Structure 1
Amino acid sequence: MAFPREGYTMGDTAAARQECYAAWTEVAHAIIDFEPVTMVVDPSEMDRARRMLSADVELVEVPLDEFWMRDFGPTFVVDDDRPGVLGAVDWTFNGWGSPDWAEWTKSAEVVRAVAPLVDAEIVSSTLVNEGGGIHVDGEGTVLLTETVQLDPRRNPYADKLRVEAEMARTIGATHAIWLRRGLTRDYESLGTNGHVDIVATIPSPGRLLVHAQPDPAHPDHDVTREVRAALEATTDAAGRAWDVIDVPAPATLRDAHGFVDWSYVNHHVVNDGVIACGFGEDVADGRATELLSEAYPGRRVVTVDARPIFARGGGIHCITQQQPRLGTP
């Protein structure tokens, strides 16, 4: 993870900044009950990080501007032909298409600081991409979005074939499934222009969890129906038809800034557990817990209030990045 530092994303009041620090801290403390957590911290925030975070969280001082580790951090990979070797894909990061508000040049260098600390070989890529813009099944399938990898602000000269070739080279994904777009809010301020990790995920080979907005009053009602239909028309890398499971959105449709993109699909899987997004709705949060428990048998689902994270442009999956333990499934 990466600890927040002051800037546009946090908000412009002391209360907003404290809310941001607290949300990231709560996620870290939820994870530490299951597995080790390393927190990358900008030098300006080390004192605060020491005060707020458990002593069990390892702190690493590295210059930062943004703090969405999923997106600018390493995408870790392993190689069946080289057991014991950990790779760290270093995507080119330009702040989700270099919008005017984004500060990203320091965070774009984080992989080169982090990889040596975990003895990972860096796999460099000139493709502008973020970890939240892909989902994989570990067996060759990758989910992509046309408005992310083909975004002219990211990759003005890319086409699907070039992107797919780079996915095969870097993460070993040989079967790409392209979604036309992402959720509505994700195209507004602080959005990523269509990250897949709030739309659909693959909890196990052959199965999909898909965000569903059942209320016709929300524009994502039509979007999620389109996404589901598109996915149902595809197969995974092994040629299997998908078992598609709807994960209904919470009942809340709007916040102070417009239609929300609150999604339970944006969760983080840990050793023996799942860190799930909660939105202060007992019925919807409880239903999501049941669905995630069924999708990840044997794992304990822990819910953390993700509203402060979504208000800043993402969810729990977006602020975390898993590192595989070599030699284990």
Structure 2
Amino acid sequence: MKPLEGRIALVAGATRGAGRGIAMMLGEKGATVYCTGRSVRGKPASGPKRPETIEETAELVTSKGGRGIAVRVDHTVEAEVSELCERVKREQGRLDVLVNDVWGGDELAEFGLPFWKLAPEKGRLMLDRGIYSHILTSRYAVPLLLERNQGLIVEITDGDNFGYRGNVFYDLVKMSIIRLAFTMAWELRRHPAITTVAVTPGFLRSEAMLEHFGVTEANWRDGTKVDPNFIASETPFFVGRAVAELAADPNVARKNGRVLSSWQLAREYGFKDVDGRQPDWGQYFTETFGRPYPVAGDAEYATWSNGPIETVCADWPKE
């Protein structure tokens, strides 16, 4: 049997990018994966330039050996999220893995502008899509984990450090996701078989990024002519394999409440990207910029990210 055969996963935001890669790699290990998002065939939510759909993702999950199920959901709409989770319970009777990867903020980010010049309506929508959607999805999905008192929750973020991310709203979203993983771990502390972590990819070679650089996966190295750092990029399947390894790890609870990176987990679990490489954004950063990439555990990093929840919160009230 494959290690995740019989397991039920929900990847919220599986249309493209990291979400699609995660869904497919969970399928590769045998999981049944509910692939959700707003873009369906004949009705793309991200405009005509983005052709990816959740149906296509579900089919790719199945092609990898799992079972993909596409469900059109706007994760900022409570009724739709509630119905999704009721459907999972009705059809499967359980949920084992929740991956919160909803985003939809790329077209909203106004990089290069100070916060006093940003469009407030764009910023508020980014917060709704990037933070509220995660909280709302967890609100209705986590009770399914609680019914069996076990499972894994993964919050997908961007970066595992306090470096500024170039836009105040974007920065707030990605840092809030890390904090959300910690707070959920804290509130679930009496359920030690339920683990919550945040996971970040490195320089993600997503469909949108390939298009931005005018390349394809076949000739992606030509993208280094636009940005030489692209040489250290990774496919969405790399972070996908990171999440799949976490889901299959019987000792994953040791990572509870932490923020983890694809390259760190690749070293630990020994997996590689689908192209045979093992990109290490942290090492590349150090070698290229002459200083260590700040990761969880460094002095400048918040102490709450530096260990399992029971260690970090040893001095906190238990009630």
Fold similarity call, TM over 0.5: no
Give the TM-score category using the shorter length: 0.3 to 0.5
More strand by share: 1
More helix by share: 2
The TM-score with structure 1 as length reference comes to: 0.33
